[in-house]
């Protein structure tokens, strides 16, 4: 296996933390993530874990519930080593950069008539607000649970969302002269 893709690395990392698990459980981990940038469909996950197994990065143990047979996967020593080099050896430019699909669209505002510009930005602002509420709730939950790392991850999402919401208000103020009511 040449080089771990982003999805493969993430999957291997999840397996490392929550092993042993089935491909289906793995999919759920991606699905419930507050930031679902991967569809993590069956068509990607099942072949993926097979690739990982073929490369001996994970190991499968049979797992039967009633009539149905499945496989639970755990990370191997090789896999753990591979995961470490993947984390450390990635292209830092890619890791640091972050693709913001919203910003790309805002940069294209001139192709929209003004009414549609406002409408679009207003919609995005609302969605960001919703995301903010969800993320705050997530932070609160993680605070209860007590795992400092999990809390940090949620905090990261929260800080990002706050920054984006602040930014979209700048956009509204600059482009439309809209003044935003102060935060509660």
Partner DNA sequence: ATGGCCATGTAAGATGTTACATGATTTA
Partner DNA sequence: TAAATCATGTAACATCTTACATGGCCAT
Q: How far apart are CA 132 and CA 160, in angstroms?
A: 9
Q: How far apart are CA 18 and CA 58, in angstroms?
A: 13
Q: Which residue has the tokens 């072949």?
A: 47
By the rule CB under 7 A, 99 interacts with DNA: no
By the rule CB under 7 A, 41 interacts with DNA: yes
29 binds, among its own copies, DNA, none (CB under 5 to 8 A by kind): none
Q: How far apart are CA 161 and CA 159, in angstroms?
A: 5
**72 beta partners:** 61
Task: Tell me how crowded residue 50 is: count the other CB atoms within 10 A of its CB.
Answer: 15
177 binds, among DNA, its own copies, none (CB under 5 to 8 A by kind): none
Task: Sketch the per residue contact string, 128 through 157, with its own copies: x for CB under 8 A, - otherwise.
Answer: x--x----------------xx-xxx-xxx
Q: How far apart are CA 146 and CA 142, in angstroms?
A: 6
Compute CA distances 67 → 63, 80, 143, whole Å: 11, 33, 40
By the rule CB under 8 A, 4 interacts with its own copies: no
By the rule CB under 7 A, 112 interacts with DNA: no
100 binds, among its own copies, DNA, none (CB under 5 to 8 A by kind): its own copies
Q: How far apart are CA 11 and CA 136, in angstroms?
A: 26
104 binds, among DNA, its own copies, none (CB under 5 to 8 A by kind): its own copies
φ/ψ of 104, rounded to 5, equals: -55, -45
19 binds, among its own copies, DNA, none (CB under 5 to 8 A by kind): none
Smaller CB separation from its own copies, 55 or 63? 55
Task: Sketch the per residue contact string, 10 through 49, with its own copies: x for CB under 8 A, - otherwise.
Answer: x--x--xx-----------------xxxx-----------
Which residues contribute to the site for DNA (CB under 7 A)? Answer: 1-2, 5-8, 22-25, 38-44, 46-48, 51, 63, 65-68, 70-71
């Amino acid at each position: 296996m040449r080089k771990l893709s982003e999805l493969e690395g993430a999957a291997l990392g999840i397996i490392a933390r929550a092993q042993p698990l089935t491909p289906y459980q793995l999919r759920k981990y991606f699905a419930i993530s507050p930031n679902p940038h991967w569809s993590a469909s069956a068509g990607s996950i099942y072949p993926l874990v097979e690739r990982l197994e073929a490369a001996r990065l994970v190991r499968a143990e049979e797992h039967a519930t009633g009539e149905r047979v499945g496989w639970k996967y755990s990370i191997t020593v090789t896999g753990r080593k591979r995961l470490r080099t993947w984390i450390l050896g990635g292209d830092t430019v890619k890791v640091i950069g972050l693709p913001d699909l919203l910003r790309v669209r805002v940069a294209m505002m001139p192709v929209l008539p003004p009414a549609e510009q406002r409408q679009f930005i207003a919609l995005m602002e609302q969605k960001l607000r919703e995301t903010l509420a969800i993320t705050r709730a997530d932070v609160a939950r993680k605070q209860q649970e007590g795992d400092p790392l999990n809390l940090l991850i949620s905090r990261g999402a929260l800080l990002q969302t706050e920054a984006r919401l602040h930014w979209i208000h700048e956009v509204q103020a600059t482009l439309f002269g809209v003044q935003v009511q102060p935060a509660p």
